Amino acid sequence: MNRKCIFNGCKDAPKELQDIMDIWFEKSKAVGDVGSCVIGAGFNFEYKGVKYHMIACSPWQGSISWEMPKGEIEIMLREIGCTDILYDWGRLD
């Protein structure tokens, strides 16, 4: 499935998605660098007819830093109209 990959600071991300990524990044900083080193984790969803993969946002490599607030982030995505939201756990590095 072809998805547009977006990440924190991505110039192509719609503002409302960038705002959610910024919140996710800030929330992950509160947890710290805890958990397994994981790559590729994030949300797959559709927004305004475009399919996205939003890469997990954190300054840390430990997966728990971004997994702790992922429930809140999913709610925010739903509130702005995202559909078909699935979380991809990524893979161990």
Is residue 66 within 8 A of residue 29, CB to CB? The reply is no
> What pLDDT, on a 0 to 100 scale, did the predictor assign at position 41?
93
Domain boundaries along the sequence of the chain? 4-92
Mean pLDDT of each 10-residue bin along the chain, 93 residues long = 69 89 92 88 94 89 92 98 96 83
Rounded CA gap, 36 and 76, in Å?
A: 25
> What pLDDT, on a 0 to 100 scale, did the predictor assign at position 1?
53
Instruction: Compute the half-sphere exposure of residue 16: CA atoms within 13 Å on the CB side of its CA.
Output: 9
